[in-house]
Amino acid sequence: MASPGQIIFWSIISIIIILAAAIALIIGFGISGKHFITVTTLTSAGNIGEDGILSCTFEPDIKLSDIVIQWLKEGAMGLVHEFKEGKDDLSDQDEMFRGRTAVFADQVIVGNASLRLKNVQLTDAGTYKCYIITSKGKGNANLEYKTGAFSIPEVNVEYNASSESLRCEAPRWFPQPTVVWASQVDQGANFSKVSNTSFELNSENVTMKVVSVLYNVTINNTYSCMIENNIAKATGDIKVTDSEIKRRSHLQLLTSKASLGVSSFFAITWALLPLSPHLMLK
């Protein structure tokens, strides 16, 4: 039998435990403060010398003044870019990004935190973090940015050569790509012994011009010149008949999967660049 003294004692202990738990909960909420919001990035690649976009989206917030966007790069001392209270704040920006970054200010309110990067350099490659704070909470996602050079090849008939030859030429590639020829008629054939590929360094000493010549080609056949490195894959097709030459080409970025994104919305493994495939008739 518990004495009244014991009942009171245990009641007080229980109340203290309950109160302690409640206080711990309140403090816990106070520290974590807000909820996490979904932030989604898309791994992408930049073409050296051109402008690039680092893609990042987040759960939108109607209060623009509460939105803070921070872009950070692994290994960089300062920030890549900061946007808060409705405008850029570049006071902590790293030297290497000075004058080269912009967010799409009118798109921030709909949850677009993408960053435009001017004049992409080889050294811009790396891991970026898109860090977002809104009145609903905060969140972040990483993004792998690859840099290199890639361009569409053009295939032409080389009228000068001793045998019927095709010449595939692309102005800018980096790192050095592989070049493989294929034909519709001889599928699976290995053309490495009847072709000759050369790489010529461009004047900036980084990117290279790719030229590949395929010998002994036959009429009424479609040939493809495929150029590929770890960033992109490009194809130039040509078909020569008695009466005409048909050409087309396209370029694909070999992006890896959407990184660390919570949502599967952007989880596409291949991004297709809509670089108007052209069909030319002569």
Ligand X SMILES: *[C@@H]1O[C@H](CO)[C@@H](O)[C@H](O)[C@H]1NC(C)=O
Instruction: Find the part of the chain contacting ligand X (CB under 6 A) among 66-74, 144-152, 197-205, 252-260.
Output: 197-205
Question: Which residue, 215 or 229, has its beta carbon nearer to ligand X?
Answer: 215
Q: How is residue 221 written in tokens?
A: 């056949």
> Quick check: 241 binds ligand X (CB under 6 A)?
yes
Distance CA 267, CA 252 (A): 16
Query: What is the three-class DSSP state of 125?
Result: coil
Query: What is the three-class DSSP state of 223?
Result: strand
Binding residue for ligand X, selected from 43, 47, 114, 255, defined by CB under 6 A: 114
DSSP per-residue string spanning 59-97: ---S-GGG-EEEEEETT-SSBSEEEETTEE--TTB-GGG
Binding residue for ligand X, selected from 90, 194, 260, 271, defined by CB under 6 A: 194
DSSP conformational letter for 206:
S
Question: Which residue, 78 or 102, has its beta carbon nearer to ligand X?
Answer: 102
Which of positions 16-75 make contact with ligand X (CB under 6 A)?
Answer: 55, 57
- 56 in Cβ contact with 143 (< 8 Å): yes
Question: Which residue, 54 or 152, has its beta carbon nearer to ligand X?
Answer: 54
Binding residue for ligand X, selected from 198, 230, 256, 263, defined by CB under 6 A: 198
Binding residue for ligand X, selected from 127, 178, 184, 190, defined by CB under 6 A: 190
Q: How far is CA 176 from the centre of its chain?
A: 20
List the x/- string, 139-178, binding to ligand X by CB under 6 A.
---------------------x--x---------------
Query: How many of the other CB atoms lie within 10 Å of CB of 108?
Result: 20
Distance CA 213, CA 198 (A): 9
Number of amino acids touching ligand X (CB under 6 A)? 23
> Quick check: 200 binds ligand X (CB under 6 A)?
no
Pairing of strands 126-134, 115-117: unpaired
> Quick check: 199 binds ligand X (CB under 6 A)?
no
Instruction: Find the part of the chain contacting ligand X (CB under 6 A) among 68-76, 94-102, 191-199, 248-256.
Output: 191-199
> Quick check: 193 binds ligand X (CB under 6 A)?
yes
Query: What is the three-class DSSP state of 171?
Result: strand
CB of 226 to ligand X, least distance (A): 10
Handedness of CA 58, 64, 67, 73 (dihedral sign): positive
Torsion of the alpha carbons at 136, 141, 99 and 87, rounded to the nearest 10: 0
Q: How is residue 279 written in tokens?
A: 């069909």
CB of 179 to ligand X, least distance (A): 11
Instruction: Find the part of the chain contacting ligand X (CB under 6 A) among 59-67, 104-112, 127-135, 168-176.
Output: 104-112
> Quick check: 104 binds ligand X (CB under 6 A)?
yes
> Quick check: 263 binds ligand X (CB under 6 A)?
no
Pairing of strands 137-148, 44-47: parallel
Q: Which residues bind ligand X (CB under 6 A)?
A: 55, 57, 104, 107, 112, 114, 160, 163, 190, 192-194, 196, 198, 203-205, 215-216, 219-220, 241-242
